[in-house]
Chains A and B, each alone.
Chain A
Amino acid sequence: MVAALGRWANRKAREYAYGLGFFFQVVRETVFFVPRKQVAFRVLVLQILFTGVESLGIVSLIALSIGAVIIVEGGTILPRFGQTSLMYSILIIVITRELGPILTAFIIIARSGTAIATELGNMVVSHEIEAYISVGINPVSYLVVPRVLGVTISMVALTIYFNFFGLFGSFLVSQLVKPVPFLEYFRALLRALQLRDILSLIVKSFVFGIIVSVVATFQGFKVNVSVTEIPRAAIRAVGQGFVLCFLADALITLIYYV
Chain B
Amino acid sequence: MSDPGSGELLSLRDVTVTMGGHAALSGVSVSFPEGKSTVIMGPSGSGKSTLLKVAAGLVPPDAGSVRLRGQDVFYLPERKVMELRRTNGFVFQDGALWENKTIFDNLALPLQVHFPEMTRADVEKRVVRSLERMGMEESAALRPAQLSGSERKIASFLRALIAEPTLVFMDEPTLAIDHAVAEKISLTIRELKSRGCTLIAVTHDPQLTSTLADWLVVLEGGRLLEAGSFDAVKRTENSRVRSILAQVLGEISSYDTDLLELLGHGGGAEN
Encoded as 1 (CB less than 8 Å from any A CB) or 0, chain B from 148 to 180 comes to 000000000001100100000000000000000
CB distance from A140 to the nearest CB of B (A): 13
The chain A residue sitting closest to B92, CB to CB, is: A127
> Binding site of B, secondary structure by majority: helix, strand, loop or mixed?
mixed
Interface flags for B49-92 (1: CB within 8 Å of A; 0: not) read: 00001001111000000000000000000000110111011101
Does B81 contact A136, Cβ atoms closer than 8 Å?
yes
Q: Does A137 contact B (CB under 8 A)?
A: yes
Contact of B96 among A119, A128, A137 (CB under 8 A): A128
Whether A37 pairs with B116 at a CB distance below 8 angstroms is: yes
> Does the CB pair A135–B159 fall under 8 Å?
yes
Partner of B58, one of A37, A39, A133: A133
A135 lies within 8 A of B113 (CB)? yes
**Contact indicator A128/B99 (Cβ below 8 Å):** yes
B192 → chain A closest CB, angstroms: 17
* 0 or 1 for each of A133-160: is its CB under 8 Å from B? (1 = yes): 1111100000000000000000000000
Whole-angstrom distance between the alpha carbons of A37 and B112 in the complex?
11
CB distance from A156 to the nearest CB of B (A): 26
A131 within 8 A of B: yes
**In the complex, what's the smallest C-beta–C-beta distance from A57 to chain B, in angstroms?**
23
Is A126 in contact with chain B by the CB < 8 A criterion? yes
Name 19 A/B residue pairs within 8 A (Cβ), A-sorted. A122-B99, A127-B92, A127-B94, A128-B98, A128-B99, A130-B53, A130-B58, A133-B57, A133-B58, A133-B85, A134-B88, A134-B160, A135-B85, A135-B109, A136-B110, A136-B113, A136-B114, A137-B109, A225-B20
Q: Is B94 touching A126 in the complex (CB atoms < 8 A)?
A: yes
Residues of B near A225 (CB, < 8 A) are 19-20
Shortest CB–CB separation between residue B168 and chain A, in angstroms? 11
Contact of A39 with B109 at beta-carbon distance under 8 Å, contacts A127-B92, A131-B96 already known? yes
- A131/B88 contact (C-beta < 8 A), A39-B112, A39-B113, A137-B109 known: no
Report chain A residues within 8 Å CB of B97: 128, 131
Q: Once bound together, how far apart are the Cα atoms of A169 and B19, in whole Å?
A: 55
Number of A-B residue pairs, CB cutoff 8 Å, is 61
Nearest B-chain residue to A122, judged by Cβ: B99
- Give Cα distance in the complex from A40 to B89, angstroms: 21
Given contacts A133-B57, A135-B113, 17 further A-B contacts (CB under 8 A): A39-B109, A119-B100, A126-B99, A130-B59, A130-B92, A131-B90, A131-B96, A131-B159, A133-B58, A134-B56, A134-B58, A135-B109, A135-B159, A136-B86, A136-B110, A136-B114, A137-B113
Q: Once bound together, how far apart are the Cα atoms of A64 and B94, in whole Å?
A: 49
Residue of A nearest to B108 (CB): A39
- Please, which residue of chain A has its CB at the minimum distance from the CB of B156? A131
Q: In the complex, which of the residues B82, B92, B112, B163 contacts A131, with contact meaning CB atoms closer than 8 Å?
A: B92
Measured CB to CB, the closest approach of chain A to B205, in angstroms, equals 21
Complex: how many Å from CA A204 to CA B90? 44
A136 touches B82 (CB 8 A): yes
Q: How far is the CA of A122 from the CA of B116 in the complex (A)?
A: 29
Give every chain A residue within 8 A of B53 (Cβ-Cβ): 130
Q: How far is the CA of A128 from the CA of B90 in the complex (A)?
A: 12
| Contact assessment for B99 and A134 in the assembled complex, using a CB-CB cutoff below 8 Å | no
Nearest opposing residue in chain A for B87, CB measure: A136
Q: How far apart are the CA atoms of A37 and B81 in the complex, in Å? A: 18
In the bound complex, residues from chain A placing their C-beta under 8 Å from that of B160 are: 134
Q: What are the residues of chain A within 8 A of B114 when measuring CB–CB?
A: 135-136
Q: A204: shortest Cβ distance to chain B, in Å?
A: 31
Closest 6 CB pairs of A and B: A136-B85, A127-B96, A134-B90, A135-B110, A131-B96, A39-B112
Q: What's the minimum C-beta distance from A115 to chain B, rounded to whole angstroms?
A: 12
Bound form: Cα–Cα A132–B98 in Å? 9
Contact partners of B86 in chain A: CB under 8 A? 136
